[in-house]
């Protein structure tokens, strides 16, 4: 209770002090009067010699206080009272700040989740991916391509910087033997895969080297979710045999909850990994000699030895690539180069840049919000001059007044910060639920301690940015000036006016930058929608149909099964056409292979002889809506016994037969055991992964003529999966059940997996650009609104200041129209300044956005011009109301006011 | 604190003078002001009021005590008294001040040739 005693003691002390001072003055006055001075003069003299009673008393009291804290509390109380007195101002300022801070908080929480949070792997900084780069100068549509088997084996054998190295590739399995057949997304992983990641199973073990050998690969590690959903989390699961693709596999381990490496959104697009791996089986890589033109399909992960840096690993990979050149065929030259990527940057990967763009945009928005609040505060502090003059006259220090203003600003910032947390939480909710699934670790976004610290930091910075602005209204000079004006007219000091104009100009400029950025993204999005994807997405249903090799080992079994399924689907009412392909449109690329073109002079194999090799059926082009540009598509008459035929894509025709006619020419995969085929048609290029990709040569062969198991599965016997594409007359979604029945009528053990509308797949590929665009459009709209509010505030304050002047002008015969024009012109001039500066800034800033754009340049004139017009219109609209007010000024009233 | 500069000669000077005056005899604020003004030959134009914050500081540090009493002119006044700690403090301050003054004087003295 000592503080209470202290408080009572202080009360007494204060009382003593005031009484003592009063007595002092009284004694002095009495003495002076006794000397013969008139009482009035004596009183004045006593006071003058004593000094400022209030101030000195306060100084005396301060001795007993924690002066800073207590004046602070006093300031806070006073500030709260002042803010309550002008609820409109407070609401606008707090709301503006809440939006600015909230948007930054939400965006930062995404950045935090994706880029900053530690990864859930032990010593994650040692995990790297030696990704294989495509040969220089060859556009394969991807930055990273799968590693060839022979190359991986060579690296595994030669490398000295890796503690462990593992290869993996996606696979799919048909789980049978229990109830319904179930399609599982799986991974073939070599023995080094799990040690490289450093994650141990919660039950059992992972693969041994011996199990990672062809013929021994009959072990399976289950994901936590599969163990729960299919096996009831049975702790005795180890050792149990399950049937995958008709073959027995022994369960040897269960991975911990949440482990699903690799996820599609964390890996390079070229691999087309599934989003959720459910089983891992040994890769059991064939260790025999190199096979010509074998497809590459491996992804590689490694754990660096302690003390080895990324750069050292990269150096070693470079040296190995050089040394290996002689060991491989000449056309491999340049295709062994790797780029060693850390796990962190891989996972952040492509998401990092869009996120940083958004972070930049939100920083601009925050600055704008601060400028806006600063403008509001200046206007307000000008309106409060009487108060400041009074307080200064009563002995308030100049620094004390500024401290008071800063306190108010800090309160506003705090309220804005708290509001910002609410807005931020809302933003995070929005991003998690409507954000693109492609953002890895999005689900981890939330308000953690780091985000809170960030919000606090932003709040403090914001308070500092706008907090000092109103101080310009209470400089000693400006107060003295106002005093001279007798408080009659609160004249605006030049400095304050310039400051406010500068703030307004910066708001316009910042808004312009944001609106231009949003405009460019919107144009990009529109361009993407207009892109000809090479197929028609409406009324198309796609699903995966996998034939287990145990039951469907060769062409004699596979082709009739697919034919039967297709026939049944085709005969369903409402189905227009149907076909199969190794990958449906936007379903990822098919295997890339070296090709040979007999009779074609190929100078450079690496540069010229590559294409996607896609197995399709006769109805596929019609079902996908891919236009046949020349020649014909596949017919039912193209059988195993007829002339081998192929259809090529437009870009393939252009690349390999420039100026010539490919129809009737020969083409075939590089591997000699595949026959060459005669080109009978040219089809449009199909977008394989995203609408923004550049076309890549693609050749199609009919399923009736290809070698089965297909190219894709020659080396790694696995499930033969094809995508079925069904074009319907009515809404495709209603057809799911009947399509499923049609499949089961052929073989009840076949799972129908991944049923999706093609339009949904296309829309999903657009979620990311759509999300970025909507986000930036939202920011831009906010920025416009804030700039408009700022403009309105400045111009209407200007009109209020100039009421008398306008009145005089009118009394002297100025037309109302010219007054209107004068005010509007004033606003337009400020706006033009802002737009000019903003344009210069936007030209520089949008350069950084180049990689986000499609089909337009970063300096797209249409965007820039329309944004300038838009901003000018908004500015003029904001000036309109105050300008009307100025026009309606009654000269009599205005002059009387003086 | 620009305003403080002309009120105080240097930090602690006013306190030192107050303590020195109280060493002679306990007295109240008004008397202190008169004494300081008089004994400095009106050289120090101290703002009278600034005495009070200084007195509060001394009170807080326990260098002086205060109590209400009646002055010679029959007024109710608050009389300040030097404490032993105050006396010791004064001694320390005066000697350090003298050393400083000596130093300054030497520097300012005309150079001897």
The chain A residues in contact with chain B (CB within 8 A) are: 13, 16-17, 19-21, 23-24, 26-28, 49-53, 56-57, 59-64, 397
pLDDT score at B46? 67
Of A17, A23, A63, Cβ closest to residue B57: A63
- Its sign, for the CA torsion A387, A390, A394, A395, is positive
User: pLDDT-derived band of residue B4, with 50, 70 and 90 as boundaries?
Assistant: very low
Look at residue A650 and tell me whether its pLDDT is greater than 90.
Answer: yes
Tell which of A13, A17, A21, A24 to mutate to test the B interface (max B CBs under 10 Å): A24
CA separation for the pair A797, A497 (Å, rounded): 10
pLDDT grade for B2, boundaries at 50, 70 and 90: very low
| Digit-coded pLDDT (tens) for A125-183 | 899 999 988 777 665 656 788 888 888 988 888 888 999 999 998 888 888 766 667 88
Quick check: A589 and A272 in contact, CB under 8 A?
yes
Interface test with A, best of B28, B49, B53, B61 (most A CBs within 10 A): B49
Q: In chain A, which residues have their Cβ closer than 8 Å to the Cβ of B53?
A: 56, 59-60, 62-63
Measure CB to CB from residue B56 to each of A28, A50, A63 and give the nearest one.
A63
Q: Which residues contact A203 (CB under 8 A, 6 or more apart)?
A: A227, A235, A237, A238, A253, A254
Interface probe, candidates A42, A46, A59, chain B, greatest B C-beta count within 10 A: A59
The three-state DSSP-derived secondary structure of A453-491 is HHHHHHHHHHHHHHHCHHHHHHCHHHHHHHHHCCCCCCC
> Could you give the CA distance from residue A808 to residue A894 in angstroms, rounded to a whole number?
8
A350 pLDDT exceeds 70?
Answer: no
Please tell me chain A's helix, strand, coil percentages from 3-state DSSP, rounded to the nearest 5.
55, 15, 30
Measured between beta carbons, the chain B residues lying within 8 angstroms of A60 are 52-53, 55-56
> Chain A partners of B30 at a C-beta cutoff of 8 Å?
23-24, 27-28
Q: What is the DSSP string of A40-57?
A: HHHHHHHHHHH--HHHHH
pLDDT recorded at residue A602: 52
Overall average pLDDT of the A351-370 stretch: 85
Query: Which helix (H) or strand (E) element contains residue A186?
Result: strand A182-189
Higher per-residue pLDDT: A348 or A155? A155
Q: What is the phi/psi pair of residue A692, to 5°? A: -90, -5
Nearest-Cα residue of chain B relative to residue A400? B1
- Residue A612: pLDDT band (50, 70, 90) is confident
Helix (H) or strand (E) holding A505: helix A494-530
Q: Locate all alpha helices (DSSP H) within A384-397, ordered by sequence.
A: 385-393
Q: Return the residue of A nearest to B72 by Cα.
A: A27
- What is the model's pLDDT at position A440? 67
> In this model, does residue A868 exceed pLDDT 90?
yes
The better pLDDT of the pair A797, A577 is held by A577
DSSP state of A581: E
Handedness of CA A709, A713, A719, A720 (dihedral sign): negative
User: Which of residues A474 and A278 earns the better pLDDT score?
Assistant: A278
Q: What is the pLDDT of residue B3?
A: 39
Q: Any bridge partners for residue B68, and if so which?
A: B78
Tell me how far apart the alpha carbons of residues A654 and A657 are, in angstroms, rounded to a whole number. Answer: 6
pLDDT digits (tens, 9 = 90+) for A394-439: 777 777 778 888 888 888 999 999 999 999 999 888 888 877 766 6
List chain B residues with CB under 8 Å of A61.
Answer: 56
Q: What is the pLDDT of residue A622?
A: 93
Eight-state DSSP code of residue A146: P
Cα A853-A859-A864 angle, rounded to 5 deg: 105
Mean pLDDT over all residues of chain A? 83
Of A104-118, A369-383, A519-533, A544-558, which has the strongest mean pLDDT?
A519-533
| In the predicted structure, residue B5 carries a pLDDT above the cut 70 | no
| Residue from the list B30, B52, B76 with its beta carbon closest to the beta carbon of A17 | B52
Residue A790: its pLDDT value, please? 87
CB A695 within 8 A of CB A535: no
Rounded CA separation A846/A866 (Å)? 16
Residues of B in contact with A23 (CB under 8 A): 30, 75-78
A51:B50 CB<8 A: yes
Q: For residues A28 and A50, what is the distance between their CA atoms, to the nearest angstrom? A: 10
Question: Over A280-319, what HEC string results?
Answer: EEECCCCCCCCCCCCCCCEEEEEEECCCCCHHHHHHHHHH
How far does the CA of residue A838 sit from the closest CA of chain B (Å)? 42
Cβ contact, residue pair A63, B60, below 8 Å: yes
- Provide the shortest C-alpha distance from residue B52 to chain A (in Å): 6
Per residue in A288-333, pLDDT (tens digit) is 777 766 667 889 999 999 988 989 999 999 998 888 877 777 767 7
Q: What is the distance in angstroms between the Cα of B72 and the nearest Cα belonging to chain A?
A: 12
pLDDT greater than 50 at residue B7: no
* Distance between A311 CA and the closest CA of chain B, angstroms: 58
Tell which residue, A87, A107, A655, has the closest CA to residue A366: A107
Residues of B in contact with A26 (CB under 8 A): 75
Q: How confident is the model at residue A68 (pLDDT cuts 50, 70, 90)?
A: low
- Min mean pLDDT across A685-689, A764-768, A877-881 is at A764-768
Q: Is the pLDDT of residue B60 over 70?
A: yes
* SS3 label, residue A826: helix
Write out pLDDT tens, residues A199-252. 889 999 999 888 888 888 889 999 998 998 888 888 888 999 888 877 889 999
* Beta carbons of B30 and A61 less than 8 Å apart: no
Query: How far is residue B4 from each of residues A57, A166, A574, measured CA to CA in Å?
Result: 15, 76, 95
How far is the C-alpha of A585 from the C-alpha of A698, rounded, in Å?
A: 12
CA distance B53 to B7: 12
Find chain A residues with C-beta within 8 A of B57's C-beta: 63
**Paired tokens of A152:** 């991986």
Question: Which of B2, B36, B38, B48 best probes binding to A when mutated, by most A CB atoms within 10 angstroms?
Answer: B48
Residue B8 CA, distance from chain mean position: 10
Please state the length of chain B. Answer: 113
pLDDT > 70: what percent of chain A? Answer: 90
Which single residue is written with the structure tokens 């109380």?
A77
Which residues in B have their CB inside 8 Å of a CB on A? 3, 28-30, 33, 47-50, 52-53, 55-57, 59-60, 66, 68, 71, 73, 75-78
Given this model, what pLDDT does residue A487 score? Answer: 46
Q: B74: nearest CA in chain A?
A: A27
Residue A196, pLDDT score: 92
Determine the pLDDT at residue A605: 45
Phi/psi of residue A491, nearest 5 degrees = -65, 145
**Which residues are CB-neighbours of A483 under 8 A, at least 6 positions away?**
A389
CB A224 within 8 A of CB A256: yes
Residue A835: pLDDT band (50, 70, 90) is very high
Q: Tell how strand A591-596 and strand A610-616 pair up.
A: antiparallel
B46 interaction partners in chain A (CB closer than 8 Å): none
Cross-chain residue pair A16–B66, CB shorter than 8 Å: yes
What is the ipTM for the molecules in this complex?
0.79
Highest mean pLDDT range out of A374-388, A655-669, A763-777, A858-872? A858-872
At A687, give phi and psi (nearest 5°).
-70, 130
From the list A732, A710, A724, A717, the residue with the least C-alpha distance to A753 is A724
Q: Classify burial at A160, counting beta carbons within 10 Å of its beta carbon; exposed 0-12, middle 13-18, buried 19 or more.
A: exposed
Question: Chain A: nearest CA to B23, how far in angstroms?
Answer: 21
Percent of chain A beyond pLDDT 90?
Answer: 23
Q: List the alpha helices (DSSP H) in A124-211.
A: 149-158, 193-197
Question: In the structure, what pLDDT confidence band is assigned to residue A273 with cuts at 50, 70 and 90?
Answer: confident
> Which pLDDT value is given to residue A715?
36
**pLDDT number for residue A254:** 93
| Residue A606: per-residue pLDDT | 42
**Mutate which of A30, A63, A64 to disrupt the B interface (most B C-beta within 10 Å)?**
A63
Residues of A in contact with B66 (CB under 8 A): 16
Q: Do the beta carbons of residue A838 and residue A780 sit within 8 Å?
A: no
pLDDT digits (tens, 9 = 90+) for A4-56: 666 677 777 788 888 888 888 888 888 888 888 888 888 888 888 888 888 88
| Nearest C-alpha in A relative to B53 | A60
Cβ contact (<8 Å) for B47 and A64? no
The SS3 call for residue B40 is coil
Q: Which residues neighbour A879 within 8 Å (Cβ) at sequence distance 6 or greater?
A: A791, A792, A795, A823, A824, A826, A827, A828
């Amino acid at each position: 209770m000592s503080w209470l005693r202290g408080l009572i003691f202080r009360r007494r002390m204060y009382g003593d002090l005031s009484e003592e001072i009063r007595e002092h003055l009284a004694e002095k006055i009495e003495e002076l009067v006794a000397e013969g001075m008139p009482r009035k003069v004596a009183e004045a003299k006593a006071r003058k010699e004593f000094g400022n009673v209030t101030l000195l008393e306060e100084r005396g009291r301060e001795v007993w206080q924690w002066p800073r804290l207590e004046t602070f509390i006093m300031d806070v109380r006073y500030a709260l009272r002042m803010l309550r007195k002008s609820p409109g101002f407070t609401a606008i300022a707090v709301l503006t700040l809440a939006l600015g801070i909230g948007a930054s908080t939400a965006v930062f929480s995404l950045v935090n989740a994706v880029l900053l949070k530690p990864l859930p792997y032990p010593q994650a900084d040692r995990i790297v991916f030696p990704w294989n780069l495509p040969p220089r100068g060859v556009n394969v549509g991807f930055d990273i391509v799968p590693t060839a088997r022979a190359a991986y084996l060579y690296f595994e054998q030669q490398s000295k910087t890796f503690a462990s190295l593992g290869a993996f590739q996606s696979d799919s399995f048909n789980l049978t033997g229990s109830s319904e057949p179930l399609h599982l997304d799986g991974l073939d992983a070599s023995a080094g895969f799990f040690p490289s990641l450093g994650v141990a199973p919660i039950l059992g073990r992972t693969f041994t080297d011996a199990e990672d050998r062809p013929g021994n690969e009959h072990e399976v590690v289950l994901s936590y979710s599969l163990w729960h959903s299919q096996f009831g989390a049975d702790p005795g699961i180890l050792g149990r045999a399950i049937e995958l693709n008709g073959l027995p596999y022994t369960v040897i381990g269960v991975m911990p909850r949440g482990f699903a490496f690799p996820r599609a959104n964390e890996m390079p697009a070229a691999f087309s990994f599934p989003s959720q791996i459910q089983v891992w089986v040994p890769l059991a890589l064939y260790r025999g000699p190199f096979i010509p033109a074998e497809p590459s399909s491996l992804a590689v992960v490694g754990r660096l030895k302690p003390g080895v840096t990324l750069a050292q690993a990269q150096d070693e990979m470079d040296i190995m690539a050089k040394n290996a050149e002689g060991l491989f065929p000449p056309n491999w030259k340049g295709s062994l180069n790797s780029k060693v990527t850390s796990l962190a940057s891989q996972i952040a990967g492509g998401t990092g840049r869009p996120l940083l763009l958004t972070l930049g945009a939100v920083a601009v928005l925050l600055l704008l919000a601060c400028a806006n609040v600063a403008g509001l505060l200046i206007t307000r502090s000008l309106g409060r001059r009487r108060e400041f003059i009074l307080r200064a006259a009563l002995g308030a220090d100049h620094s004390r007044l500024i401290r008071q203003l800063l306190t108010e600003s800090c309160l506003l910032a705090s309220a804005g910060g708290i509001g910002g947390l609410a807005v931020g939480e809302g933003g995070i909710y929005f991003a998690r639920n409507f954000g693109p699934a492609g953002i890895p670790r999005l689900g981890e976004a939330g308000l953690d301690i780091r985000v809170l610290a960030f919000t606090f930091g932003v709040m403090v910075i914001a308070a500092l940015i706008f907090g000092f602005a109103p101080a310009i209204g209470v400089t000693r000079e400006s107060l003295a000036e106002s005093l001279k004006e007798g408080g009659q007219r609160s004249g605006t000091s030049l400095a304050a006016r310039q400051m406010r104009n500068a703030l307004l100009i910066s708001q316009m400029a910042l808004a312009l930058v944001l609106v231009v950025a949003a405009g460019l993204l919107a144009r990009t999005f529109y361009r993407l929608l207009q892109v000809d994807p090479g197929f028609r997405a409406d009324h198309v249903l796609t699903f995966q149909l996998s034939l287990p090799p145990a039951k469907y080992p060769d062409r004699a079994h596979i082709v009739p099964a697919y034919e039967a399924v297709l026939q049944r689907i085709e005969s369903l009412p409402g189905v227009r056409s149907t076909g199969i392909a190794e990958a449906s449109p936007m379903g990822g690329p098919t295997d890339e292979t070296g090709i040979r073109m007999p009779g074609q002079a190929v100078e450079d194999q690496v540069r010229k002889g590559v294409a996607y090799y896609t197995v399709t059926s006769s109805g596929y082009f019609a079902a996908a809506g891919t236009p046949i540009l020349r020649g014909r598509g596949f017919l039912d008459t193209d059988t195993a016994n007829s002339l081998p035929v192929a259809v090529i894509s437009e870009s393939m025709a252009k690349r390999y037969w420039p100026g010539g006619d490919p129809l009737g020419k020969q083409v075939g995969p590089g591997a000699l055991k595949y026959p060459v085929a005669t080109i009978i048609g040219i089809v449009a290029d199909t977008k394989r992964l995203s609408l923004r990709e550049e076309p890549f040569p693609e050749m199609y062969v009919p399923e009736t003529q290809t070698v089965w198991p297909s190219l894709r599965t020659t080396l790694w016997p696995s499930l033969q999966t094809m995508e079925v594409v069904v074009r319907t007359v009515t809404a495709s979604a209603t057809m799911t059940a009947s399509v499923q029945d049609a499949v089961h009528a052929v073989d009840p053990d076949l799972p129908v997996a991944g049923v999706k509308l093609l339009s949904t797949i296309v829309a999903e590929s657009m979620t990311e650009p759509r999300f970025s665009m909507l986000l930036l459009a939202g920011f831009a709209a906010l920025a416009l609104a804030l700039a408009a509010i700022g403009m309105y505030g400045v111009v209407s304050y200007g009109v209020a200041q100039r009421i008398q002047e306008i009145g005089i002008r009118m009394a002297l015969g100025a037309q109302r129209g010219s007054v209107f024009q004068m005010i509007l012109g004033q606003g337009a001039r400020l706006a033009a300044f802002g737009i000019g500066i903003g344009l210069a800034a936007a030209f520089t800033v949008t350069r950084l956005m180049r990689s986000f754009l499609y089909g337009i340049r970063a300096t797209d004139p249409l965007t820039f011009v329309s944004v300038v017009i838009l901003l000018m219109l908004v500015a003029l609209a904001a000036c309109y109301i105050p300008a009307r007010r100025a026009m309606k000024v009654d000269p009599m009233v205005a002059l009387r006011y003086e | 604190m620009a305003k403080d500069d002309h009120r105080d000669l240097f930090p602690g000077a006013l306190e030192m003078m107050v303590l020195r005056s109280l060493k002679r005899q306990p007295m109240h604020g008004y008397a202190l002001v008169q004494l300081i003004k008089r004994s400095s030959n009106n050289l120090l134009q101290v703002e009278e009021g600034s005495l009070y914050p200084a007195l509060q500081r001394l009170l807080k540090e326990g260098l002086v005590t205060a109590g209400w009493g009646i002055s010679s002119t029959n007024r109710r006044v608050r009389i300040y008294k030097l404490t032993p700690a105050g006396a010791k403090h004064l001694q320390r301050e005066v000697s350090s001040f003298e050393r400083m003054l000596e130093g300054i004087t030497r520097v300012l003295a005309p150079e001897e040739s």
